Amino acid sequence: MTTEQKDVDTTLDPLFIQKSEEAYRNPTEVQMSQIVLPCHANHCGELSAGQLLKWMDSTACLSAERHAGCSCITASVDDINFEHTIGVGKVVNIIAKVNRAFTSSMEVGILVTCEDLYTDRQWKVCHAFATFVARRTEAGKVQLKQVIPHTQMEQMEYSLAAERRRMRLIHAEIITDLLSSSTAQLECQEYQDAVPAERTRVESVELVLPPHANHQVSTFGGQIMAWMENVATIAACRLCNAHPTLRTIDMFHFRGPSHIGDRLVLKAIVNNAFKHSMEVGVCAEAYQGGEPLRHINSAFMTFEVLDSDRKPRTLPRLRPEPVDGKRRYQEAIARKKIRLDRKYIITCKQTEVPLSVPWDPSNQMYLSYNNVSALKLMDTRNNWVLTSEKNKVRLYTLEENHMLCFKVEMYVSVPAEQTFHLLSDLRRRKEWDRHYESCDLINQADEDDTLYRIATPSVRKGGKGQDFILLASRRKPCDSSDPYLIALRSVTLPTHPPTEDYTRGEVLCAGFAIWEESSTLTKITYYNQATPGVLPYISTDIAGLSSGFYSSFCACSQFLEPIYYGKPSVQY
């Protein structure tokens, strides 16, 4: 949150592309380096966020076009959190590469770092994920070639890109539902000396000229974002009579193109002011001649005002106008909660995520994303150590960041889809896993996410058993290169508090990756990031003193195959 300079930690940031790997370079990678001049800076001598957005969009577009082999346009940009500001004289380094291509769209990962030329130090400013769409050619709609990941890091981003795409596709619908349900419970509070919201309203028009257009003669997406940031900053200034700092931009989509000759109308207003931050809503509309306005884009930006110590100042309260003003005021409160959920659950490093997170409908999408992404991260790691093998069941371990992970791998002669169907219903797991004493379905949130209560027997004679409240998230493959996934993690439910009869256990990350080897052969990989509640069940297996896990997974094989071949399963 300050301009403090920190060395870039390349081991913690999956987007960072290490320059020491000279032997291999991603073919879609594009790098841009710009020195920040006074003409790029604001009144504080810091790089304006609008200029940075233009550079980021330009770099990402070139990466997308390098992969597509044709012109591309910006379709959307995910949430951006600006961690640091950049001063005049510093160097901005931007790296973009295509993480994954779908039919005609692709996800581009963007990393921005700042470099001090005098001290040779670098620090991360922000990272983002943008979606680009390949434009139609004379031959018709473009069918993009697939990205082939070559490194563990590329494989990880390739896998996570499918989950991020899923979240983008349902994002607008879920946000609409949450806003409609949340705002009904919110009231506008009256404050003395509150600033009228209408005082912050800004409207500006820009004529799109050739310098504002890209090589496709469309208004440059980064230019539109820069103009939007400009009017949003003016609106924020009018609330606090000071110069604000942009901290976040929520995920947004471009609704349509703009071209040379368009008049672009940009409107902004402060929707709500909280103690140390404010939300500004901004939209861009275009027209030519007497035609009606076309909606190009809308975004929500969060600003802070920093004092001399670079700490956020307390902001004036806002008095919304009736009807639309109160609606925007209430929706801003709901979006703030959603924003905190996204930042807390999605952007947290895995080592910082608490074992159990409260579940409710407002954060279901983000918990599901975190659940599946954590499992995908474990699945892409390639430094597992084979501990033992018995009856074609292999046990691997991985110790990293003071955490122990393990995986169990085996093959079954059952189609992958059938295996996925049978294993994803946890109520049937007690038929083969002796660690499952009972399993109750608490809530079928939707087709992909289900909440269960699991009870397990005690590992010590006379001790208490454990119970777990688990979120099970299912995913079918996005294409043939993806596995079926069943991800498990602990959540907290107020309706199911701990009881005296059981010790409440926690699962941070566990689940199955199910790979189709052929039409009748499937590889099953079970992962678990061992927590204190799980370790007692597996420690003797890992030490080689027991074969309990081998027995369980042999039983799993015997459970799956008889059912597929129409024979009764054997209970263990």
Torsion angle in degrees (nearest 10) through CA of 538, 542, 544, 550:
60
- DSSP-assigned letter for residue 40: G
- 442-455 residue pLDDT tens: 999 999 999 999 99
Give the C-alpha separation, 527 to 44, whole Å.
Answer: 50
Specify the amino acid at residue 72: C
The pLDDT of residue 102 is above 60: yes
Please list, in sequence order, all residues whose beta carbon lies within 8 angstroms of the beta carbon of residue 446, skipping any fewer than 6 positions away.
364
Is pLDDT above 90 for 340?
Answer: no
Instruction: Tell me which of 349-358, 463-472, 496-505, 519-528 is least confident.
Output: 349-358
Q: What is the pLDDT of residues 394-416, one digit of tens each?
A: 989 888 777 788 899 999 999 99
Quote the CA–CA distance of 119 and 103 in Å, as a whole number. 45
Residue 483 has pLDDT above 50, yes or no: yes
The three-state secondary structure class of 406 is strand
Residues with Cβ < 8 Å from 102, sequence gap 6 or more?
144, 165, 478
Identity of the amino acid at 22: E
Tell me the pLDDT band of 536, cut-offs 50, 70 and 90.
low
Q: Residue 505 pairs with which residues in a beta bridge?
A: none
* Whole-number Å distance between alpha carbons of 316 and 193: 8
Half-sphere exposure of 333 (CA within 13 A, CB side): 17
- Contact by Cβ (8 Å): 475, 163: yes
Rg, the chain, Cα only: 26
pLDDT in tens, 360-396: 877 888 889 889 999 999 999 888 999 888 888 898 9
Predicted confidence band of residue 5 (pLDDT cuts 50, 70, 90): very low
What is the C-alpha to C-alpha distance for residues 283 and 286, in angstroms, rounded to an integer?
10
Average pLDDT over the chain, rounded to whole?
86
| 321: pLDDT strictly greater than 50 | yes
Q: What is the pTM of this model?
A: 0.83
Mean pLDDT to the nearest integer, 474-501: 92
Q: What is the mean pLDDT of residues 417-444?
A: 92
96 CB burial (10 A radius; 0-12, 13-18, 19+): buried
Using pLDDT thresholds of 50, 70 and 90, give the confidence band for residue 9: very low
